[in-house]
């Protein structure tokens, strides 16, 4: 019998929102997948349907500690990504980004693996340039309540490029903009999950500020396609590269669309704007189009139609905000 030559792929944060979708995609590609998670925000519910696959392995482990496995590729997604979760233990959040990057880069160096860093649009802070290009250095508060995440991710990028320059490591850095879809944590405080859960339970839709701050929303399947393409790109394509949907919507527009699509009786309730909340966030994806031949395909309404049933099932199961 011929033994198939499968890639051995490690996904840190593999039981989280993005990680679980990535694990599923990689298994469909025929890879041998190790899902690594400490289950701080990730959940086994997200990966339960993958457990029967003989080429899927789950490891409970925290990336702030060294890991010794043999792999060909590493997707480093481990880090709480919503303000509610990353501000709960800000020191640990910074450790996850910085120590986690050091440990995964060390693993990649030892195994000669190609490594992908899930960076974020938060590296741009509250941007003065709109839309944001990869050459923009950002407008970030280094000592604010969100800095544990913003600066942790910025430091991780620094480490990746220093390992690239100093050790010739094969790196890929993607800057992820707002993404939504099934498997989002219902209590993560992010705007899409918040609005849908509030609408489905007829609670007030909470908008911070006047609702005119804008975001760009990318459906998860489109983002995972970008991950896979970036990982498979030529070695000289290191990034950082913006990965997101350039179509821009105000928070108020999103709230009104969710209310309409869920047939909710919810009313919109305005609250004070949180510290360091960016007023605009929109990617320039020219580089992704050019180097990866990638751009999102899913319109917001279409993506919400695929996302709302997931939250409806959570509400039916008695899961609340």
- pLDDT (0 to 100) of residue 293: 98
| Domain range list for the chain | 8-181+219-245+283-298
pTM: 0.92
Least confident residue range of 83-97, 156-170, 304-318: 83-97
Whether residue 149 lies in the annotated active site: yes
For residue 86, pLDDT beyond 80: no
Q: Per-residue pLDDT averaged across 46-66, rounded?
A: 97
**Confidence band of 320 (pLDDT split at 50, 70, 90):** low
For residue 2, pLDDT beyond 60: no
pLDDT tens, 268-302? 998 887 765 667 778 999 999 999 999 999 999 99
Catalytic one among 86, 124, 149, 219? 149
Residue 260 and residue 302: Cα distance in Å, rounded?
Answer: 14
- pLDDT (0 to 100) of residue 272: 85
**Phi, psi (rounded to 5 degrees) for 149:** -85, -50
Selection from 243, 236, 218 nearest residue 307 by Cα: 218
Residue 185 and residue 237: Cα distance in Å, rounded?
Answer: 32
Q: Per-residue pLDDT averaged across 290-317, rounded?
A: 95
Q: Average model confidence (pLDDT) for the chain?
A: 92
- pLDDT (0 to 100) of residue 3: 55
Q: Per-residue pLDDT averaged across 153-169, rounded?
A: 98
Question: Is the C-alpha dihedral spanning 54, 58, 59, 64 positive or negative?
Answer: positive
Query: 8-181+219-245+283-298 belongs to which homologous superfamily?
Result: NAD(P)-binding Rossmann-like Domain (3.40.50.720)
Determine what percent of the chain is predicted with pLDDT higher than 70. Answer: 96
- pLDDT (0 to 100) of residue 1: 44
Residue 255 and residue 2: Cα distance in Å, rounded?
Answer: 54
Q: Tally the C-alpha atoms within 13 A of residue 259's C-alpha that lie toward its C-beta.
A: 16
Torsion angle in degrees (nearest 10) through CA of 107, 49, 172, 29? 110
Selection from 169, 231, 235, 236 nearest residue 7 by Cα: 231
Q: How far is CA 152 from the centre of its chain?
A: 15
Q: How far from 162 is each of 102, 165, 191, CA to CA, in Å?
A: 11, 5, 34
Residues 6+ apart with CB under 8 A from 67: 36, 61, 103, 104, 107
* SS3 per residue for the chain: CCCCCCCEEEEECCCCHHHHHHHHHHHHCCCEEEEEECCCCCCHHHCHHHCCCCCEEEEECCCCCCCCCCCCEEEECCCCCCHHHHCCCHHHHHHHHHHHHHHHHHHHHHHCCEEEEEEEHHHHECCCCCCECCCCCCECCCCCCCHHHHHHHHHHHHHHHHHHHHHCCCEEEEEECCEECCCCCCCCCCHHHHHHHHHHCCCCEEEECCCCCEEECEEHHHHHHHHHHHHHCCCCCCCCEEECCCCEEEHHHHHHHHHHHHCCCCCEEEECCCCCCCCCCCECCHHHHHHHCCCCCCCHHHHHHHHHHHHHHHHHCCCCC
For residue 71, pLDDT beyond 90: yes
> Who has greater pLDDT, 256 or 275?
256
With b for 16 or more beta-carbon neighbours within 10 A and e for fewer, the 279-303 pattern comes to ebbbbbbebbeebbebebebebeeb
- pLDDT (0 to 100) of residue 94: 93
> Who has greater pLDDT, 3 or 74?
74
**Confidence band of 214 (pLDDT split at 50, 70, 90):** confident
For residue 158, pLDDT beyond 60: yes
């Amino acid at each position: 019998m011929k033994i198939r030559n499968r890639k051995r792929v490690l996904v840190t944060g593999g039981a989280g929102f993005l990680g679980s979708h990535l694990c599923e995609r990689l298994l469909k590609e025929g890879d041998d997948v190790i899902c690594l998670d400490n289950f701080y925000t990730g959940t086994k519910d997200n990966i339960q349907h993958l457990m029967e696959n003989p080429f899927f392995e789950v490891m409970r482990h925290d990336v702030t500690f060294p890991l010794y496995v043999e792999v060909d590729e590493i997707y480093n997604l481990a880090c709480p990504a919503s303000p509610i979760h990353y501000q709960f233990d800000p020191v640990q959040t910074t450790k996850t980004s910085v120590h986690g990057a050091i440990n995964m880069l060390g693993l990649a160096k030892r195994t000669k693996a190609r490594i992908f860093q899930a960076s974020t649009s938060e590296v741009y802070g509250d941007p003065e340039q709109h839309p944001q290009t990869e050459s923009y250095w950002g407008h970030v508060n280094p000592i604010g309540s969100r800095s544990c995440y913003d600066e942790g991710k910025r430091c991780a990028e620094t480490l990746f490029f220093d390992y690239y320059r100093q050790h010739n490591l094969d790196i890929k850095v993607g800057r992820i903009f707002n993404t939504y879809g099934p498997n989002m944590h219902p209590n993560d405080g992010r705007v899409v999950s918040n609005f849908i859960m509030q609408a489905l339970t007829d609670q007030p839709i909470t908008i911070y500020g006047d609702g005119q701050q804008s975001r760009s929303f990318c459906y998860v399947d489109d983002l995972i396609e970008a991950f896979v393409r970036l990982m498979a790109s030529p070695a000289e394509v290191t990034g950082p590269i913006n990965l997101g949907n350039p179509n821009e919507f105000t928070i108020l527009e999103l709230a009104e669309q969710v209310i309409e699509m869920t047939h909710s009786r919810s009313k919109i309730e305005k609250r004070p704007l949180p510290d360091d909340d960016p007023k605009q966030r929109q990617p320039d994806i020219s580089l992704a189009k050019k180097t990866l031949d990638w751009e999102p395909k899913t319109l917001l309404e279409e993506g919400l139609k695929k996302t709302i049933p997931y939250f409806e099932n959570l509400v039916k199961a008695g899961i609340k905000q």
